[in-house]
Amino acid sequence: MIIKDLIHLVNKEKRKKDRAKVVQNIAVGMGVVAVAGVATGILIAPKSGKELREDMKKKAINTVETLKEKVEDVKDKMEDAKEKTEEVNKEIKDGYDEIKKDINETAKNISKKL
């Protein structure tokens, strides 16, 4: 039963890592789409060259700030996933050590009976 629980924990952590990677990919995709949308909106707007450059600069700064926030969110989620993975790895190691100890004790008991 312990081995089944350990396998379940490993699979659970693998799924968490996969989800964190998906979140990271989504954040990057959102950033790319945001930049493309801002550029398209600015270039379509009927403004003078100077106004257009100022607007592009402001929107680029806003987009960079938004991307920085998204990246920080992803970093936080990745750090959480890392910490949880380390915890599960420790639990697995502890479980392995316990199983090993039980096997050794059982082997000793069997050898004493023989």
Q: What is the pLDDT of residues 66-93, one digit of tens each?
A: 888 888 888 888 888 888 888 888 888 8
Question: Which residue is it, tokens 């926030």?
Answer: 69
Binning pLDDT at 50, 70 and 90, where does residue 9 land?
low
How many other β-carbons are positioned within 10 Å of the β-carbon of residue 27? Answer: 19
What is the Rg, in whole angstroms, of the alpha carbon atoms belonging to the chain? Answer: 27
Burial of 68: CB neighbours in 10 Å, binned 0-12, 13-18, 19+: exposed
Binning pLDDT at 50, 70 and 90, where does residue 63 land?
confident
Q: What is the arithmetic mean of pLDDT over 82-105?
A: 85
Binning pLDDT at 50, 70 and 90, where does residue 1 land?
low
Model pTM greater than 0.85? no
Q: What is the pLDDT of residues 10-19, one digit of tens each?
A: 677 778 777 7
Q: What is the pLDDT of residues 35-54, one digit of tens each?
A: 788 777 767 767 677 887 78
Domain ranges of the chain: 2-113
